[in-house]
Amino acid sequence: MTAISAALVKELRERTSLPMMECKKALQEAAGDIDVAIENLRKSGGMKAAKKAGRTAADGVVAARVAEDGSGGVLVEINSETDFVARDENFLAFVARVTDRVFAERSEDVAALMAGDLESAREALVQKIGENISVRRSRVLEAPVIGEYVHSNNRIGVLVGLSGGSAELARDIAMHVAAVNPQVAKPEQMPDDVVAKEREIYAAQARESGKPEEIIEKMISGRVNKFLAECSLVEQPFVKDPDIKVGGLLKQAGADILGFVRFEVGEGIEVETTDFAAEVAAQVRSSG
């Protein structure tokens, strides 16, 4: 049987809120793969969903720039090690310089952007403030109408591209994307593998009910449709007026969503943390 660490059990418990022993059993059955364990628990009806993996492991800011005619914009994420540095005026000046370059070159190739003077500036900044600084990513969005929103803490930024409508409407929808974080703009844009995975999970849950196959298929379809609606921008209730969906808001304005980009500082980056108290306790036990 696969040995399961206490840290892995603890992480699964934090993500599922299930009892410790149930988490350990699920991990053993999944050979220590936490994502497989969560999927199996969902299939068995042990839980509805899990919290997203990982903690925000990097600090920094998101910055945006939109053309004066509103036809194009860029979004940039630049990381520091601490929030203190993320508020430093020298760091913010570097962010502005990088954002200007991304905007001027309309480039998503960070390595190419940083190949010359910007890399020298980054290295000088690292020497000056004593923290690692990295330009993580940039995205370019072009559309007839672009709206941008950067939250007041500079940790979440969004660009929205529309055909029709106004920059004000695009900004309102960008605020919605920042707050609600849809996966796709429209249901049909959800990747097939994601839909297949959800269908598989719902099928396993539905068959636990013991109902006839034709009823089960309706249950599965209903749950998949609900999932697509919850995760698709145009099907979500508009955050500033929940009585109307974002798609309805766009229709009223004679507009359509062409795409959006959402950056949140540190998303998907994990940092290794050490529980020194637990480490010492383990050493004491092993030496006893």
pTM of the predicted structure, to 2 decimals? 0.72
Which residues have a Cβ under 8 Å from the Cβ of 161 and sit 6 or more positions away?
141, 142, 143, 144, 145, 146, 170, 257, 258, 259, 260
Helices (H), 74-165: 83-86, 89-105, 110-113, 117-129
Per-residue pLDDT of the chain (288 residues; tens, 9 = 90+): 667 888 888 888 878 778 788 888 889 999 999 888 888 887 776 665 555 443 333 799 999 999 988 889 999 999 998 889 899 999 999 999 999 999 999 999 998 988 889 988 988 898 888 888 889 999 999 999 999 999 999 999 999 999 999 999 999 999 999 999 999 999 999 999 988 988 888 888 877 777 777 888 888 888 888 999 999 999 999 999 999 999 999 999 999 999 999 999 988 775 554 454 555 555 555 555
> Nearest CA to 262 among 170, 171, 169, 160?
160
The separation between CA 272 and the C-alpha centre of its own chain, rounded to angstroms, equals: 19
Which residues have a Cβ under 8 Å from the Cβ of 44 and sit 6 or more positions away?
204, 205, 208
d(CA 181, CA 270): 20
- Token couple for 160: 């929205």
The answer regarding whether domain 1-53 maps to CATH 1.10.8.10 reads yes
- The DSSP symbol for 32 reads T
d(CA 140, CA 161): 11
Sheet holding 72-80, edge to edge: 59-66, 72-80, 134-142
- Token couple for 166: 């106004």
d(CA 182, CA 5): 34
- CB under 8 A, 24+ apart: contacts of 118-125: 121/94, 121/97, 122/94, 125/90, 125/91, 125/94
Residue-level pLDDT at 148 = 95
> Can you name the CATH fold of 59-186+245-264?
Tetrahydropterin Synthase; Chain A (3.30.479)
- Token couple for 172: 């309102």
d(CA 16, CA 13): 5
Which residues have a Cβ under 8 Å from the Cβ of 160 and sit 6 or more positions away?
141, 146, 147, 148, 170, 171, 173, 174, 177, 257, 259, 260
Beta-strand relationship, 59-66 and 241-245: unpaired
Residue-level pLDDT at 129 = 84
Residue-level pLDDT at 245 = 96
> Nearest CA to 142 among 189, 74, 84?
74
Domain-by-domain residue ranges, the chain?
Answer: 1-53, 59-186+245-264
Rg (CA), the chain: 23
